[in-house]
Amino acid sequence: MSQSRSTQSSNRRVWLRALLYAVLLVFVVYYLLPLYVMLVNSFKPLDEIRGGNMLALPDLWTLEPWKAAWSSAQIGVQPTGLKPYFFNSIMMVVPAVALSTLLGAVNGYVLTKWQFPGHGLIFAMILLACFIPFQIVLIPMARVLGILGLAGSTPGLVLVHLVYGLGFTTLFFRNYYAAFPTELVRAAQMDGANFFQVFWRILLPSSGPIIVVTVIWQFTNIWNDFLFGASFADFDSIPMTVALNNLVNSSTGVKEYNVHFAGAILAALPTLVVYVVSGRYFVRGLMAGAVKG
Amino acid sequence: MKSQLQAWLPRIVLAPSFLLILLFVYGFIAYTGYLSLSDSRMLPSYGWVGFANYDRLFGLRHWKTALNNLWIFGLLYIGICTALGLFLAILLDQKIRGEGFIRPIYLYPMALSFIVTGTAWKWFLDPGIGLESIMHNWGWSSFDFDWIKNRNYAIYTVVIAAVWQSSGFVMAMFLAGLRGVDSEIIKAAQIDGAQSWRIYWRVIIPMMRPVFLSSFVVLAHLAIKAYDLVIALTGGGPGRATELPSTFMYSYTFTRNQMGVGASAAIIMLIMIFSIIVPYIYSELRSEKRS
């Protein structure tokens, strides 16, 4: 009697486990579906998409959409493909990430190890800057970039991303350094190390993880930005996201879905690669950005 | 002299960042605030008009649509992301084999640009080549799904794409929260003979309060800021059916030459976000000070 009851309950458990895995698998499919659709259709000739099934594998595999998206598709008025914009994005992302990370590190250092009256208020103001809707700065920013002679240029975009990334980079380093033992800093000071030596010799060597988190966070955000790119860039500085949107939403000519998909993957590739290579740090950045203070 | 410099050095080092933020964030907010009270049209202009722009703004049907859409989008986006994120986190917390494989798949959309997400969903939901045509292909010829082309339903397609992008992130937050729950508490409840779903409902989920709060704050501010996704997915259309305050601000300021009205829309967006964020940051910083 009791035996049959226990087999019954273990049977139930097996079924529940199976159901659990089935549900999880359904969601795996759900999250992968758009990526699958983009990938599969980027290798199809156009008429296969129009006449066929978007979920089917290509009958005829072709690399043409990829070549077109990269180097010959019509974007705006020029048939340049996404290539020049890809490099625009690189030229914008690298200095913006480097500068904002560096400044964030120093800010975090000062706000935790060299506190002065009012440091709390200053941190709160910097923190609040993370959350403003960027619509609020578009009009004055356009003017200031004009005054500085940076309108429509990559250095202009670097400045914009530097400024609006400072909040997050400062937050990351500040929280990380807050947990760093202050006794070590004091001890080094006793030994005669000055402000920069303490930072350089004591804090920086153990900052590896937070630097990775910050760089990934900044890279992802700046690469994926659209609003600033759309507002402040000219041909020489238009970033990848804006170019992709121009490609997909241009009203002239046939809609080349396969080229759009290939272009979308090209635009997603750098951040996806970063995610695959260092997903753990990516998640940590997301968490740090979510759980404030 | 030298020690004087040393004493001031921290402040000097912090100063450039602080000045940048003071000018580019708070100064710009003040400037936009002033423009919202001015007669600016195509270019900034400084003639004072009081609250006339706000009067006009709230009289515009276009703006009412945008606010209404923000409500629909925001509530569904936050609600579904939270429910789905919690649900998936609980499932993943059952000692799943292959968790290390599944979790990154749930989370990767967060690494994508909204423009990429928008492009993928735009064509997948397109009745001509996407889901509807797939179903017809498979022989379900009465299947009908043209929401993205339908004024009444297009805003829900924005929800679909946005949930796809962010729900994995909410899952990760809840999972981290669940992993932090003291296993003794669960054991004690089990010894009392409580069923596991009851333990979740009565004990564990109430303990997730801080996660609910921070995911709400993150999602709400993402919802109010949402711009790229709408541009890539629907372009604010069909007609103006998926216009949000963010797209409204942009088009009034830069294409319709009504900068005063656009600036007042931006101020309203700021007020919405700050009314959620400021109390949150205030309480976080205070509790940090206490501990």
Q: pLDDT class for B25, splitting at 50, 70, 90?
A: very high
> Hey, which residues does A152 pair with through a beta bridge?
A233
User: Does A134 lie in the same domain as A44?
Assistant: no
pLDDT of residue A251: 66
Q: How many domains does chain B have?
A: 1
Measure CB to CB from residue B109 to each of A31, A49, A283 and give the nearest one.
A31
Q: Average of pLDDT values for A188-207?
A: 90
Q: Average of pLDDT values for B30-58?
A: 90
SS (H, E, C) chain B: CHHHHHHHHHHHHHHHHHHHHHHHHHHHHHHHHHHCCECCCCCCCCCECCCHHHHHHHHCHHHHHHHHHHHHHHHHHHHHHHHHHHHHHHHHCCCCCCHHHHHHHHHHHHHCCHHHHHHHHHHHCCCCCCHHHHHHHCCCCCCCCCHHHCCCCHHHHHHHHHHHHHHHHHHHHHHHHHHCCCHHHHHHHHHCCCCHHHHHHHHHHHHCHHHHHHHHHHHHHHHHHCCHHHHHHCCCCCCCCCCCHHHHHHHHHHHCCCHHHHHHHHHHHHHHHHHHHHHHHHHHHHHHHHC
Instruction: Give the closest-approach CA distance of B172 to chain A in angstroms.
Output: 8
Interface of A with B in 36-55 (CB under 8 A): 37-38, 41, 49-50, 52-55
Question: B102–A24: do the CB atoms touch at under 8 Å?
Answer: yes
Listed residue (B142, B70, B52, B119) closest to A261, CA to CA = B119
Q: What is the mean pLDDT of chain B?
A: 90
User: Does A259 lie in the same domain as A127?
Assistant: yes
Q: Average of pLDDT values for A53-59?
A: 87
ipTM over 0.85: yes
pLDDT of residue A145: 95
Residue B253's contacts (CB-CB under 8 Å, 6 or more residues apart) are A138, A139, B259, B262, B263, B266
pLDDT of residue B283: 87
Peptide linkage before B238 cis (omega within 30 of 0): yes
Q: How many domains does chain A have?
A: 2
In a domain, A177, yes or no: yes
In a domain, A194, yes or no: yes
Q: How far apart are CA B272 and CA B290, in angstroms?
A: 28
Q: Are B241 and B154 in contact (CB under 8 A)?
A: yes
**Residue B172 is part of a domain; what is its CATH number?**
1.10.3720.10
pLDDT of residue B145: 85
| Token representation of residue B8 | 């001031």
In a domain, B162, yes or no: yes
Q: pLDDT class for A6, splitting at 50, 70, 90?
A: low
pTM of the model: 0.90
Q: Are A64 and A255 in contact (CB under 8 A)?
A: no
In a domain, A143, yes or no: yes
In a domain, B75, yes or no: yes
* Residue A289 predicted with pLDDT over 70: no
Measure CB to CB from residue B25 to each of A124, A129, A260 and give the nearest one.
A129
Final residue belonging to a domain, choices A54, A70, A86? A70
Final residue belonging to a domain, choices A70, A86, A116? A70
Q: How far apart are CA A139 and CA A3, in angstroms?
A: 75
Cβ–Cβ contact B83 with A under 8 A = no
| Token representation of residue A86 | 């890809």
> Hey, which residues does A233 pair with through a beta bridge?
A152
Tell me which of A118-132, B47-61, B180-194, B196-210 is least confident: B180-194
Q: pLDDT class for A3, splitting at 50, 70, 90?
A: low
Range of the domain at A24: 2-70
* Residue B7 predicted with pLDDT over 60: yes
In a domain, B229, yes or no: yes
Q: Average of pLDDT values for A118-134?
A: 91
Cβ–Cβ contact B43 with A under 8 A = no
Question: A136–B269: do the CB atoms touch at under 8 Å?
Answer: yes
Question: B267–A293: do the CB atoms touch at under 8 Å?
Answer: no
Question: B14–A111: do the CB atoms touch at under 8 Å?
Answer: yes
The amino acid at residue A118 is: G
Tell me which of A12-21, A276-285, B158-167 is least confident: A276-285
User: Does A114 lie in the same domain as A27?
Assistant: no
Residue of A nearest to B99 (CA): A24
> Hey, which residues does A75 pair with through a beta bridge?
A78
Phi/psi at A78 (5° precision): -105, 140
In a domain, A261, yes or no: yes
Question: A54–B129: do the CB atoms touch at under 8 Å?
Answer: yes
**Residues of chain A above pLDDT 90, percent:** 62
pLDDT of residue B47: 85
Buried b (16+ CB within 10 A) or exposed e, B140-166: eeeeebbbbbeeeebbebbbbbbbbbb
In a domain, B231, yes or no: yes
Question: B285–A293: do the CB atoms touch at under 8 Å?
Answer: yes
Q: Average of pLDDT values for B91-105?
A: 89
- CA contacts within 13 A on the Cβ side of A292: 27
Is B274 exposed, middle or buried (CB count within 10 Å of its CB: 0-12, 13-18, 19+)?
middle
